[in-house]
């Protein structure tokens, strides 16, 4: 902070002193009773001001019809309003000496201000506003920034960042550097210097368009805002977004097309040096609009290139994903094929079908955790099993393959179902992974006598539907395989005199009925009764079809032993 | 599924709620195994469970097996009717120690 005071708590004494002669003319012009003769006398008091006015009036930029030769002539040519405006411009330009802010080349500030002034004057043509009013507004709207740098001189080194920012960025940057903004400081200065009311409102309100005294002043504020963005097209570091924003503003406020906007920008670029000559301000080498657009297009091309790169990478990633998915699908299909081969094919007419055993399995996913099997023993009996591995997917399918192989292998030597399940159980517990377990019913059936021996390890109850009498449930009497090494299994015996024994997995009883309810064991019993008359060879498939209408979330498996085949 | 763990004396209480299915059971598994791996006797509160499938039951089985291996107490408390039905059908109600409440579980286990 400098000794000049603080911006946050600005006092009139902190502000630069107004240049008395020019301000005197501004005040005189505001009086309604003033004559041109009197005004000419006031101007003539200052040789410097007289020379300034004559140069401005005779400049190519302002282009008055006749050449003025004296102060009186200039005053007549200009009229009161233009005289006031030009006096104001000169007053403000000279308010701070060129070396008032160490480290800041004041001409760089004024070049930017002049560009805003020229832009404002060009834009005034599409409005009803006075072109010299617009020029003055454009030139002086950001004067607050200069005052801020004057008061807080330590910040002069930030000039480049401020100059290359677009109006919004600059506003935010000011806030962070100075804890205030040029519109606030500009408003304080305009009040202290008693500047004309419309100029005070422009200085205070060109960033946040607010209520003004008249519609005309509001239009002037809007025009000043657009002029700020037009000037930034030439000065901002990142030009492309500024051009876009500029086009949007010109269209929104003045209905200009992008082409009309570009024409105006071209005019600004070309008019700047003439305006500099008229105002006695030095103007450096200028870039043309074509240069600006080329630079912006280069940025666009760069952005597009990185966008194309991104698209390309995304395409590669998607292709890779598709390739992996296809590979995985092939693997799954092979696994499913192996899995299907582990279950008997239910072909009508084979020896098992003649014995009354039928099974069916449909999988909700590629791989099933369900399985069933049956095969004849040497003495004409049939081993059978149905099982459901906890969980789904590849790990369940692999465990299922292991259990089905073990069952086939062990059943050839172990006749008692309980003993067989106990052996299986120990095998699975030993190599248990992730608590995966298997519910299973394993058994033996003698088609000659109708005798069934079975053991139920945690599986859903088997259902026996005798031709006469109620349905009989054969529930689990031991936990699933793979839970407890020392689990005890029990062989149960029953005789299928005349009836059908059904085994199933949870997918069947959890199937949703059209009503939304689960089928459940009670619903299954009812369904089995209803289909009792369907030929045995078709029944298993029909039963699954009956629940297939409902949405299937799980694997469906059904195994049945129909004693009627014996007769 | 919801899952929280709290401490009750030396016991970890894993409280599971909602639906424990193929998608949520890995989270249930992580909570249960986490407690046991820290060497804490563990009770799993199933009072808020609306549905549990075989993969969820597998998480309980894995907890049960790990607890046995490490000689830690393990049990289920406040088992909801939905969960109890699943356990009963598979005769797992005879495998897991099941207690009416956490207090009962802590007292009985000692």
Percent with pLDDT over 90 in chain A: 29
- Is residue A462 very low, low, confident or very high in pLDDT (cuts 50, 70, 90)? very high
Q: Tell me the pLDDT tens digit for each residue of A292-348.
A: 888 877 776 777 667 777 888 888 899 999 999 999 888 888 888 888 888 887 654
Interface of B with A in 6-35 (CB under 8 A): 22, 25, 29
Asked whether the CA dihedral A414, A419, A421, A426 is positive or negative, the reply is: negative
Angle of CA points A161, A165, A168, to nearest 5°: 130
Residue A5 has pLDDT above 60, yes or no: no
Percent with pLDDT over 70 in chain A: 93
Residue B69 has pLDDT above 60, yes or no: yes
* A566 contacts: CB under 8 Å, gap ≥ 6: A355, A356, A447, A448, A450
Q: Which of B22, B58, B94 sits opposite A435 (nearest CB)?
A: B58
User: What gap in Å lies between CA A247 and CA A123, rounded to an integer?
Assistant: 13
- Is residue A446 very low, low, confident or very high in pLDDT (cuts 50, 70, 90)? very high
CA B61 to chain centroid, in Å, comes to: 9
Query: Do strands A370-376 and A382-389 pair parallel, antiparallel, or not at all (unpaired)?
Result: antiparallel
Closest CA to A357 of A340, A345, A339: A345
Computed over every residue of chain A, the mean pLDDT equals 85
Q: Give the H or E element holding residue B17.
A: strand B11-20
Tokens of A493: 């015996």
- Is residue B76 very low, low, confident or very high in pLDDT (cuts 50, 70, 90)? very high
User: What gap in Å lies between CA B51 and CA B68, rounded to an integer?
Assistant: 26
Mutation to test the A interface, candidates B31, B88, B89, B93, most A Cβ within 10 Å = B89
User: What gap in Å lies between CA A500 and CA A349, rounded to an integer?
Assistant: 19
Decide which of B51 and A542 is more confident: B51
A473 forms beta bridges with A463
User: What gap in Å lies between CA A301 and CA A294, rounded to an integer?
Assistant: 10
* A485 contacts: CB under 8 Å, gap ≥ 6: A425, A426, A429, A430
* CB-CB neighbors (< 8 A) of B65 in chain A: 432, 435, 483
The full length of chain B comes to: 110
**With an 8 Å Cβ cutoff, is A520 touching chain B?**
no
Which pLDDT does position A507 carry in this prediction?
Answer: 84
Asked whether the CA dihedral A80, A83, A85, A87 is positive or negative, the reply is: negative
Kindly state the average pLDDT of the residues A511-540: 84
- For residue A392, the distance in angstroms to the closest alpha carbon of chain B comes to 8
Question: Is there a contact between A389 and A368 (Cβ–Cβ < 8 Å)?
Answer: no
Q: What is the 3-state secondary structure (H, E, C) of B44-110?
A: EEEEEEEEECHHHHHHHHHHHHHHHHHCCCEEEECCCHHHHHHHHHCCHHHCCCEECCHHHHHHHHC
- Contact between A392 and B22 using a beta-carbon 8 Å cutoff: yes
- Is residue A211 very low, low, confident or very high in pLDDT (cuts 50, 70, 90)? low
Q: Give the ranges where A96-130 is alpha helix by DSSP (H).
A: 106-123
- For residue A426, the distance in angstroms to the closest alpha carbon of chain B comes to 14
Which pLDDT does position A348 carry in this prediction?
Answer: 46
Computed over every residue of chain B, the mean pLDDT equals 92
**With an 8 Å Cβ cutoff, is A507 touching chain B?**
no
Q: Tell me the pLDDT tens digit for each residue of A132-181.
A: 889 989 998 999 998 898 888 888 888 888 989 999 999 999 999 888 99
Reduce the DSSP state of residue A497 to 3 states and report it: coil
The DSSP secondary-structure symbol of A96 reads S
- Contact between A436 and B58 using a beta-carbon 8 Å cutoff: yes
**With an 8 Å Cβ cutoff, is B69 touching chain A?**
no
Which pLDDT does position A224 carry in this prediction?
Answer: 93
Within 13 A of B40's CA, how many CA atoms are on the CB side? 20
Which pLDDT does position B35 carry in this prediction?
Answer: 95
Distance separating the N- and C-terminal Cα atoms of chain A: 111
User: What gap in Å lies between CA A548 and CA A523, rounded to an integer?
Assistant: 14
Which pLDDT does position A487 carry in this prediction?
Answer: 93
In terms of pTM, does the model score above 0.80?
Answer: no
- Contact between B92 and A480 using a beta-carbon 8 Å cutoff: yes
Residue A1 has pLDDT above 50, yes or no: no
Q: Tell me the pLDDT tens digit for each residue of B22-31.
A: 889 999 999 9
Closest CA to A239 of A284, A290, A175: A290
Which pLDDT does position A61 carry in this prediction?
Answer: 82
Tokens of A246: 């500029």
ipTM of the complex, rounded to two decimals: 0.91
Fold observed for domain B2-103: Transcription Regulator spoIIAA (3.30.750)
Residue A547 has pLDDT above 80, yes or no: no
């Amino acid at each position: 902070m400098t000794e000049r005071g603080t911006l946050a708590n600005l006092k009139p004494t902190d502000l630069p002193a107004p240049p008395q002669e020019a301000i005197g003319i501004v005040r005189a012009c505001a009086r309604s009773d003033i004559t041109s003769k009197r005004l000419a006398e006031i101007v003539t008091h200052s040789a410097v001001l007289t020379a300034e006015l004559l140069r401005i009036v005779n400049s190519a930029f302002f282009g008055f019809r006749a050449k003025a030769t004296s102060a009186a002539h200039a005053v007549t040519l200009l009229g009161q309003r233009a005289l006031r405006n030009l006096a104001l411009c000169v007053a403000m330009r000279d308010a701070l000496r060129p070396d008032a802010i160490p480290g800041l080349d004041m001409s760089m500030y004024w070049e930017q201000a002049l560009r805003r002034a020229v832009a404002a004057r060009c834009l005034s043509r599409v409005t009803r506003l006075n072109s010299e009013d617009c020029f003055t507004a454009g030139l002086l709207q950001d004067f607050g920034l200069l005052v801020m740098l004057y008061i807080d001189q330590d910040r002069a080194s930030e000039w480049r960042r401020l100059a290359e920012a677009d109006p919004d960025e600059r506003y935010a940057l000011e806030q962070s550097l100075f804890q205030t903004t040029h519109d606030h400081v500009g408003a304080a200065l305009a009040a202290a210097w008693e500047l004309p009311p419309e100029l005070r409102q422009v200085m205070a309100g060109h960033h946040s368009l607010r209520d003004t005294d008249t519609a005309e002043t509001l239009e002037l504020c809007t025009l000043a805002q657009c002029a700020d963005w037009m000037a930034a097209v030439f000065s901002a570091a990142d030009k492309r977004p500024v051009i876009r924003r500029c086009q949007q503003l010109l269209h929104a406020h003045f209905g200009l097309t992008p082409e009309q906007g570009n024409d105006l920008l071209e005019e600004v670029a070309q008019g700047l040096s003439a305006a500099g000559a008229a105002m006695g301000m030095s103007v450096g080498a200028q870039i043309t609009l074509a240069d600006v657009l080329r630079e912006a297009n280069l940025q666009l091309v760069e952005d597009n290139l990185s966008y194309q790169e991104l698209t390309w990478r995304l395409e590669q990633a998607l292709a890779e994903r598709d390739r992996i998915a296809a590979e995985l699908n092939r693997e799954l299909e092979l696994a499913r094929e192996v899995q299907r081969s582990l279950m008997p094919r239910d072909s009508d007419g084979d020896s098992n079908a003649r014995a009354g055993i039928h099974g069916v399995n449909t999988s909700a996913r590629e791989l099933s955790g369900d399985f069933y099997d049956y095969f004849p023993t040497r003495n004409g009996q049939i081993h059978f099993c149905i099982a459901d591995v906890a969980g789904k997917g590849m790990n369940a399918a692999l465990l299922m393959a292991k259990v089905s192989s073990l069952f086939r292998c062990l059943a050839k030597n172990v006749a008692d179902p309980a003993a067989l399940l106990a052996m299986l159980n120990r095998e699975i517990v030993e190599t248990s992974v992730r608590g995966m377990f298997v519910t299973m019913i394993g058994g033996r059936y003698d088609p000659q006598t109708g005798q069934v021996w079975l053991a139920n390890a945690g599986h859903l109850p088997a259902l026996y539907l005798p031709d006469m009498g109620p349905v009989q449930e054969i529930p689990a009497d031991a936990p699933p395989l793979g839970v407890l090494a020392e689990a005890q299994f029990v062989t149960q015996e029953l005789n299928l005199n005349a009836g059908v024994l059904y085994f199933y997995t949870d997918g069947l009883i959890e199937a949703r009925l059209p009503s939304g309810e689960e089928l459940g064991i009670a619903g299954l019993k009812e369904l089995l009764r209803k289909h009792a008359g369907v030929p045995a060879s078709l029944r298993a498939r029909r039963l699954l079809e009956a629940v297939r209408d409902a949405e299937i979330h799980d694997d469906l498996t059904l195994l049945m032993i129909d004693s009627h085949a014996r007769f | 599924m919801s899952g929280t763990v709290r401490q009750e004396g030396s016991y970890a209480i894993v409280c599971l709620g909602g639906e424990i299915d193929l998608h949520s059971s890995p989270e249930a598994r992580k909570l249960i195994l986490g407690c046991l791996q820290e060497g804490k006797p563990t009770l799993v509160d199933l009072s808020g469970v609306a549905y549990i499938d075989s993969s969820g039951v597998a998480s309980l089985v894995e907890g049960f097996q790990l607890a046995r291996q490490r000689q830690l107490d393990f049990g289920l408390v406040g088992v909801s009717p939905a969960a109890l039905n699943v356990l009963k059908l598979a005769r797992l109600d005879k495998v897991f120690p099941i207690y009416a409440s956490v207090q009962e579980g802590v007292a009985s286990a000692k």
